[in-house]
Amino acid sequence: MGRTLPSFTQLILNEQDALAKFRRALRKEDQRAFDDLFRAARYHVAAAAYASHLLPFETMLLAMLLEEHKRVQHLEILLERLLESSSIEQTERLDLGRLSLPAGDDYLAD
């Protein structure tokens, strides 16, 4: 007996195919960014397979968002290190702490 459901990798490829015209309409640099997002979704294919209660596209978006957030966190760390090693006065520095969400569910409260 074969698989009754397509693999998550196949679902990602199906979504890319469905969005092929959209991708072609993008500028070259945006096409590269678009491809990077789908590459990020494929990076989390194992975790996505466990999220069967979500729609496949929602899971892809969540995987893409996760990778983008990791990049932002990495850039924040690099920026803070750069600022610490520079001659910029403390009062002129960007407060990176206020850019991050608070830990826990505090930011969800009304």
- Please write the tens of the pLDDT for every residue from 54-79: 788 888 999 999 999 999 999 999 99
Q: Quick check: 38 and 12 in contact, CB under 8 A?
A: yes
Position 110 confidence tier, pLDDT thresholds 50, 70, 90: very low
Query: What would the DSSP string read from start to end of 29-50?
Result: HHHHHHHHHHHHHHHTHHHHHH
Position 109 confidence tier, pLDDT thresholds 50, 70, 90: very low
Q: Where are the domains of the chain?
A: 8-108
Q: Is 98 left (phi over 0), alpha (psi -120 to 50) or beta?
A: alpha
Average pLDDT score, the chain: 81
Residue 108, pLDDT > 60, answer no
- Stretch 45-61: mean pLDDT, rounded? 85
